[in-house]
Structure 1
Amino acid sequence: MKAVQQLVEVCLTPAGEPGRLIWQSRAYPIWDVLDQWRYGGRWWLGESPRSCFLVQAGELVAELHREDAPDRWWLARIQD
């Protein structure tokens, strides 16, 4: 997986899961959530906890992170 670490826009489904990823002005429909987990963050550096998702988004396999505070989404990594 290739590290990206960019803020992205994620649209949620009615069930509250990621439904669409917008990255570099392109929309990627999220077909499947392959895995999800919770990461506590490096609290000693002031990082907030986050929810992490491994998704199939069109031709991308991407790892998305959703920070609890502030509420924002990161594209952490993509499969290369």
Structure 2
Amino acid sequence: MGVFSESVEVACSPAGQPVRLVWGNRSYRIVAEPVRWYQRRSWWVEEQRAELGRGAGLVDHEIWRVQIQQGGRSQVRTLDLSRQGNPGRWRLIKVHDAIQSLSA
């Protein structure tokens, strides 16, 4: 498992939910229902001052947990993505350990 920040390209459904992403020049599809939550950020450490009228994205990060797969037979991986700001910049912030198949 790794925690870091790397830019990724994300294609979203009309409802704004991730459906595909490009990471490391490879294209992946989302293979399970993504989960979204908001996480408080320490804006006072990252920003020297908050501009008047700027609030969206200042206090909270929008985080999505997605499960991705390249092609139809590759390993499924779980990633946490952060969507930042109105232009819709996406950052990969965490790669989870590989998911093991639960076949019995």
TM, length-normalised to structure 2: 0.67
Q: Does 38-47 or 9-18 show the bigger shift? A: 38-47
The total of aligned residue pairs comes to 80
Aligned to 2:31, the other structure's residue is in SS state strand
The counterpart of 1:51, out of the listed 58, 62, 65, is 62
Aligned to 1:65: 82
C-alpha root-mean-square deviation of aligned residues, in Å? 1.9
> Structure 1 regions of 5+ residues with no counterpart?
none
Q: Does 28-37 or 42-51 show the bigger shift? A: 42-51
> Structure 2 regions of 5+ residues with no counterpart?
48-56, 70-75, 98-104
Q: Does 1-10 or 29-38 show the bigger shift? A: 29-38
State how far apart, in whole Å, the 2-side matches of 1:13 and 1:34 are: 12
* Structure 1 segments of 4+ aligned residues over 3 angstroms from their partners: none
Instruction: Deviation per CA, 1:48-73: give whole Å up to 9, x if none.
Output: 33210111111210000001255310
Aligned to 2:95: 78
State how far apart, in whole Å, the 2-side matches of 1:34 and 1:7 are: 19
State how far apart, in whole Å, the 1-side matches of 2:33 and 2:83 are: 14
TM, length-normalised to structure 1: 0.84
